[in-house]
Amino acid sequence: MAKMAKPRKAKRTKSAAKKLSKRAAVVSAMEEEEEEELTLGDENIISASEDEGASDDERKHIKLLEAISCLGGKKRKKLTERSEASTQVSEFSVNAEGEGEKVKLSDLLGKMEKTPKNLNKTKKQLKDLEKKSDTLELPLSRQEKEKIQREVAYVKTSTEVSRWESVVTQNRNAEQLVFPLIQEPSGPKRIEQVVSGWKAQTPLEQEIFSLLHCNLQPTHDPVLTPVEEASLKAMSLEEAKIRRAELQKARALQSYYEAKAKRERKIKSKKYHKVQSKAKRKEFLKKFEDLCKTDPQAALEEFKKMELLRMEERMSLKHQNSGKWAKSKVIMGKYDLVARKAMQEQLEMNKDLTQKLVVPSEDEEQEQEEPKALPDFVNDPEPVGDPANPWMRGQLSAEALGPEVSHEVERPTEQFPERKEEEEEEEPENEEEALLREFEQKRRLRQSEDKGFEPVVSEEQEDPVDEAENREAEEELSEKGEKDDEDGLAEFKNLFNRLVEPVILETGEEQGDEGLEEGLVRIHSLDDTELLANDHEASLVEPVPSDTSNMEASACPPSKNSKKVKVIDPSEVLTKQAKVIKVPHAPMMVEDEEDLDEQTTIIKEAFAGDDVVSDFLKDKRKLEEDSMPKVVDLTLPGWGEWGGVGLKPSRFKRRKFRIKPAPLPPRKDQKLPAVIISEKRNAALAAHQVCQLPFPFTKPEQFERTICSPVGNTWNTHNVMRKLTAPKVVTQMGAIIEPIAKDDFIKDKNPSKPQPNLQLTKDSSLAKTAPPGHKRRKK
Amino acid sequence: MAAAEETAFGRTHVEEKKKIPRRYWATTAEQKDGEGKNGALQKEDSTKKIREAWWKKKLEKKKKKKAKKSVLEKKDPFPGQAPIPVERVKKFVRGDVDKVTSGVQGKLKKILKRSQAVSTLAQEQAARHDLLLPEDAGFLEGDEDEDTCTIAQDDIADAVDITSGAKYFNLNLSQFGPYRLDYSRAGRHLLLGGRRGHVSCIEWQSKALISEINVMEAVNDVKWLHNEAMFAVAQKKWLYVYDSKGVELHCIRKFNDVLRMEFLPYHFLLATASSSGFLQYLDVSVGKEVTAIGTKMGRLGVMTQNPHNAVIHLGHPNGTVSLWSPNQKEALVKMLCHRGAVRSLTVDKTGMYMVTSGLDRKLKVYDLRAFKPLQSYFLPAGAACLSLSQRGLLCASMGDVVQVYRDVWGTSVKKPYMAHRVRGAVAGLAFCPFEDVLGVGHAEGFTSMIVPGAGEANFDGMALNPYASLRQRQEWEVKTLLEKVQPDLIGLDPSMLGTVDRATWQQKHQERVQALGFDPLAHEKFKPRRRKKGRSSSGAVEKRKRKVAHEDQRDVIRHTVAANLSKEQERKKRSKAKLKAGVERCALKRFQK
């Protein structure tokens, strides 16, 4: 058998190999175009050479003879010989020089000398090809080619598609699918997410955008603008401190001045005001003159201001006796000297104002001068932009000081408005008092620095690891010892850490204690849970139902309670029975064996006529018999059985034609003598029952199991009910549900080449190198 | 640009502090370029961003799960949810799973697992929310050497608070004979029906009389319908329906000589038992008779329902108790309970136990799951009326004495829990739902007794709310009507609906044949076509028949041959494999060539 099988196998393998080679050829044709071109070229060349080779035998012979003749003498120049008639005759063909020689394939590669390695290789290949005298195979028929192509395409596409499998199965198995599949992350979005698709369209928007751009206002993470950052960099700590002190002083001065001004304004005496204004005017003029000498620029500005006032005065009719008051004064002026005076004063004022060199009026002057006492920025409103950064409040060029310092500065600014109000309410004080207060404030500030920092720092230092890091950093800092302030800060930090550590430790201990205490109550085993249940019951009985009572309950033995609740203890009952029972009404007895006889006699007396039990048993037997399947007797009388009395079909025949039905399953009431249970099926209910198992289920129990837990809210808590009735697919209203994108779900973007293709290429290479004899023999 | 965005999005929550905050100006210039080049691509970009963010979120979640918590982090001393006592969970167990899931694979396994997970969750949650039912049932405890049954009702009424004490009262109605009674399902209303025609509705807690009529006829039984708005009265001849004001709504002539009635609340069925031996079902929601079953058991004076499965239990003079559903013309079960006639019977709330009393002066407790007697007591007087409370207290009346027993089916009880003597012979007994009250209707009127521990302390406000407002009652009526259960579903096992119909194919087929009137799958006999021109001679017809027969036979043969062949081949293969294996095993095989 084995021997016989061998050749057959070989044949099969050959044919398989051939097939493979064919396929391989096609595949290779598909896969590698370059190679294909090359091989096609080779084939052409080979065929050409073969055609030539067949006709040149004679010429070869002649050449050989010539060569032999040349052997003896010197190398003579070979005479070109015209052997072929055609070359002479033909007008169209052109004669090449080395026509007689056979052209080698490798000669064609003469121009490719630049790449010597490849050249050698290809030369070798070509030589191999030349050696092959085998005929070329017929190209595959179109159908076969297409078949193979289809196969390859199938493999390709199947690999492509199979990459989706996990996604598909996942989606299929998902309890709920929410479309669109990729949801935008909930919560606050970054500005650029919102803005990315949106473009400023209206001129207002564009303006705002351009403004933001030119200020380099950060759209997200708006801590500091670059300008601010630069300004922060420009200032050191010392400078900042000095600046702060300046600011403080300025503010104090301002408030003081304000108070003073307010007080003065409230003075009703006209004389006082007149004197004041005169003095001021004089002073002002004096100053102006001084200014003209010292600082002509400032003087010029001042002058400009005055000029502006003058212009305004000239434009208005304020002091020209055209107002209501002035008109009344004109009428009164005839008789009243005071009124006339006032009128004149007015006119004089007008004159003064409209003159080239004017003195500003009392009120206006005050308004003007007030701001002068302070630098402008003090009164500027705080920019709303960033409340967190105190440095943004004054338009100072300040340096970054780190968070602590910034907080330091924050405090006083917070306190300021209050103080202002206080001062407004208070009576004006003299300078000494103001100074005193200033000092006090400084002291307070320092205190607040000492105290108020704890929460800030504690926020930063959450865990000891960070602390350690901080300490290291501080050490480094101290080593460097660059600035006193920094050192001070480090010291302060150290101090603080020392303060904080014990607190942390304490809290940790507390926690540990708590854990231990709670650990005692923890439940580990089933018994414990039972205990807990008992506790629960106990707590229910107790007037105070609370979780804390659980612990106390667990301390006391729980078994008492649980047993008390249970059924009556027979032994107890028995002992009680021994005592006299004081049942006020008709007593009751439990049936005993001894009493049975009496009872039966009584019953027998009572129901002598009807025997209930036997009737019932009879009924039951009858029912059973009715329900039993009946034997069908199909015997017919045959020969010798037709006529006569008392003739019966033979026993053999009767047995043969009696059909015994299959016995029914045992009745439900088989072992219950006093019960008849109907065996009828409930056909009405069957209409509502599931009579065929749905697809994946193989056993009815499995299906029953899945539908046995109720769904409605009568039997479930609300949350569970909602979970049970959750829809399989949820779609967002108005959202576009796009097909699944490949990039989102298939992670590897450049998969390795599919395996089957590689195999095929291997096969093709095998086919190429296969010995030539094979195929021919087969054909 | 995309890369920059990626990094921006890649920032995690935690890392944010440590990193130097990125500034928008780092990207603005590039962004501008991007805007200039391809404004159309922006949208794509945004969606891409979202997708990337989504992916990252997913990955982060995974990472977070994996990430170990630092040692010094404060640990939750009680991780996870609070444990639930096993006992409480057991209360809500539904079905057994482990049997089913063993040896199952693939999709089915997934489905089973999921369903199991959901059911366990439901179970757990239900057990958790059981905490919200904190009320405990009351009980009566005597002093040492004092029997609880000796404690008089007056003493109890004095001892308890005023409102509870007011629940013990007597109605002296001596004129219109022994009273039947019925409490509404919520327990607020009481319906009294005197033998001599007196019918009255009372809101018994406030003792407000809603209506009072005399039907001028003998009244056999009274019953509330689904709510307090209507009640049915079984009068001498017909069955009547009145509303709570006492206005006669219907006289149902189809139901005559009714002796006892039961209302099945979930099915909206009024079951009546008549003296002529008919058990009839009236669908109250549509007013139609569902079925009328002739029991052929004589006068049906004893009747009760099984609240668990809505099966009607009838007691008969021959000592049997029969169980009925409207779907079957014969009794589902017949059990011989007493030597004498059955006087009274009652079934407990869970449908597990039935208590019967007979003329043989016995009180028997049956397990309805196995139809086996559990306990048998002998009462010297024999119980005329029986009733079971929601908590399983049994009350039995012997003449004018009412006795209450506790836990009749657990252990054999030797003495009553409570006892009380009323003025006249007891005709009707009923425990008030959700109250520790027993109503006794007797010849001299009505007595309301206090029985501590009788009623269910925790009522389900969604199902039956004693304190429901008018609006709630209306809503409830609509809801229950919508959830009405069809009478088809009444059977011994109410969970049968959840089972697959495993009837054999034959049985199903028989039903189908019955319904269709013919057998759709019956094999048709070949009938040769009648041909003309003498070709339908008997010989030719026979030939044709033969042909068909042969063809059929051949088919059969072909099938069998094919089957045999395949079998043979398989056998050969197996033997070959065996042989091969045997050869390989041979030690000398290596020397063979």
Tell me how close the Cα of B544 comes to any Cα of chain A, in angstroms: 31
Residues of A in contact with B297 (CB under 8 A): none
Whether A198 shows a pLDDT value over 80: the answer reads no
Confidence at A86, pLDDT banded by 50, 70, 90: low
Residues of A in contact with B53 (CB under 8 A): 185
pLDDT > 90: what percent of chain A? Answer: 8
Give me the residue label for tokens 């404060």: B74
Residues of A in contact with B393 (CB under 8 A): none
Residues of A in contact with B502 (CB under 8 A): 700
Which member of B23, B78, B136 has the closest CB to residue A518? B78
So what's the pLDDT on residue A306? Answer: 82
Report the distance separating Cα A471 and Cα B250, nearest Å. 94
Which member of A199, A570, A688 has the closest CB to residue B488? A688
Instruction: Pick the more confident residue, A15 or A170.
Output: A170
E strands, A545-698, in order: 589-590, 632-633, 658-659, 675-677
Q: Which residues of chain B have pLDDT under 50?
A: 1-16, 28-41
Taking one residue from A and the other from B, the number of pairs with CB-CB distance under 8 angstroms is 300
Which member of A220, A587, A683 has the closest CB to residue B380? A587
A619: three-class secondary structure by DSSP? helix
The structural domain count of chain A equals: 3
Determine, for residues A700 and B499 on separate chains, whether the beta-carbon distance falls below 8 Å.
Answer: yes
Q: Are A125 and A43 contained in the same domain?
A: yes
- Indicate the domain borders of chain B: 1-42, 86-100+111-132, 148-489, 504-554
Whether A404 shows a pLDDT value over 50: the answer reads no
Side chain identity at residue A375, one-letter code: P
Whether A37 shows a pLDDT value over 60: the answer reads no
Residues of B in contact with A523 (CB under 8 A): 83
Query: Best of A511, A682, A688 to disrupt the B interface by mutation (most B CBs within 10 Å)?
Result: A682
So what's the pLDDT on residue B46? Answer: 63
Instruction: Pick the more confident residue, B335 or A213.
Output: B335
Instruction: Pick the more confident residue, A224 or A384.
Output: A224
Q: List the single range of A119-123, A545-549, A610-614, A696-700 with lowest mean pLDDT.
A: A545-549
> Domain span at residue A760?
1-49+121-163+751-779
The residue of chain B nearest to residue A225, with distances taken between CA atoms, is B23
The residue of chain B nearest to residue A722, with distances taken between CA atoms, is B122
Q: List the single range of A16-30, A648-662, B91-105 with lowest mean pLDDT.
A: A16-30
- The pLDDT tens digits of the residues spanning A702-750 come to 888 888 888 888 888 999 999 999 999 999 888 888 888 887 777 654 5
Show which of residues 561-590 on chain A sit within 8 Å of chain B, judged by CB atoms: 567-568, 570, 573, 576-577, 579, 581-590
Which member of B85, B100, B119 has the closest CB to residue A702? B100
pLDDT (average), residues A689-695 = 82
Report the distance separating Cα B356 and Cα B470, nearest Å. 38
Report the distance separating Cα B341 and Cα B317, nearest Å. 4
- The pLDDT tens digits of the residues spanning A39-77 come to 444 444 444 444 455 557 888 888 888 888 777 665 555
Q: In the CATH scheme, what is the code of domain B148-489?
A: 2.130.10.10
Give Cα separations from A463 to A460, A508, B78, B545 (angstroms): 9, 12, 23, 101
Confidence at A138, pLDDT banded by 50, 70, 90: confident
Confidence at A405, pLDDT banded by 50, 70, 90: very low
So what's the pLDDT on residue B144? Answer: 83
Is residue A85 in some structural domain? Answer: no
Confidence at A309, pLDDT banded by 50, 70, 90: confident
The residue of chain A nearest to residue B317, with distances taken between CA atoms, is A612
Tell me how close the Cα of A584 comes to any Cα of chain B, in angstroms: 6
Which member of A584, A586, A705 has the closest CB to residue B97? A705
Determine, for residues B46 and A581 on separate chains, whether the beta-carbon distance falls below 8 Å.
Answer: no
Task: Report the candidate in A685, A667, A680 with the shortest Cα–Cα distance to residue B332.
Answer: A680
Report the distance separating Cα B395 and Cα B419, nearest Å. 9
Give Cα separations from A501 to A337, A448, A460, A654 (angstroms): 85, 22, 14, 108
Q: What angle do CA A53, A56, A60 make, to 5 degrees?
A: 115
Q: Of A516, A550, A580, which residue sits at a domain end?
A: A516
Q: List the single range of A18-32, A298-312, A637-651, B168-182 with lowest mean pLDDT.
A: A18-32
Report the distance separating Cα A374 and Cα A252, nearest Å. 10
Is residue A550 in some structural domain? Answer: yes
Tell me how close the Cα of A477 comes to any Cα of chain B, in angstroms: 20
Report the distance separating Cα B257 and Cα B273, nearest Å. 8
Task: Report the candidate in B307, B304, B371 with the shortest Cα–Cα distance to residue B337.
Answer: B371
Q: Are A565 and A469 contained in the same domain?
A: no
DSSP code at position A504? H
The average confidence (pLDDT) of chain A is 66
Length reported for chain B? 593
Determine, for residues B49 and A193 on separate chains, whether the beta-carbon distance falls below 8 Å.
Answer: yes
- The pLDDT tens digits of the residues spanning B279-299 come to 999 999 999 999 999 999 999
- The pLDDT tens digits of the residues spanning A443-487 come to 676 665 555 444 333 344 444 444 444 555 445 444 444 444 445
Confidence at A97, pLDDT banded by 50, 70, 90: low
B445: left (phi over 0), alpha (psi -120 to 50) or beta: left
ipTM over 0.85: no
- Contact of A523 with chain B, judged by CB distance below 8 Å, is answered with yes
Give Cα separations from B459 to A521, B310, B395, B468, B473 (angstroms): 33, 21, 22, 12, 15
So what's the pLDDT on residue B505? Answer: 63
Confidence at A601, pLDDT banded by 50, 70, 90: low
Whether A12 shows a pLDDT value over 90: the answer reads no
So what's the pLDDT on residue A710? Answer: 87
Which member of A587, A589, A680 has the closest CB to residue B328? A680
Q: How many helical (H) and strand (E) elements, i.e. helices and strands, does chain A have?
A: 34, 6
Task: Kindly give, in sequence order, each residue whose CB lies less than 8 Å from that of residue B358, ignoring residues fewer than 6 positions away.
Answer: B319, B337, B338, B339, B340, B341, B342, B343, B364, B382
Determine, for residues B462 and A714 on separate chains, whether the beta-carbon distance falls below 8 Å.
Answer: yes
Task: Kindly give, in sequence order, each residue whose CB lies less than 8 Å from that of residue A458, ignoring residues fewer than 6 positions away.
Answer: A500
Radius of gyration of chain B (CA): 38
Query: Best of A588, A591, A681, A721 to disrupt the B interface by mutation (most B CBs within 10 Å)?
Result: A588
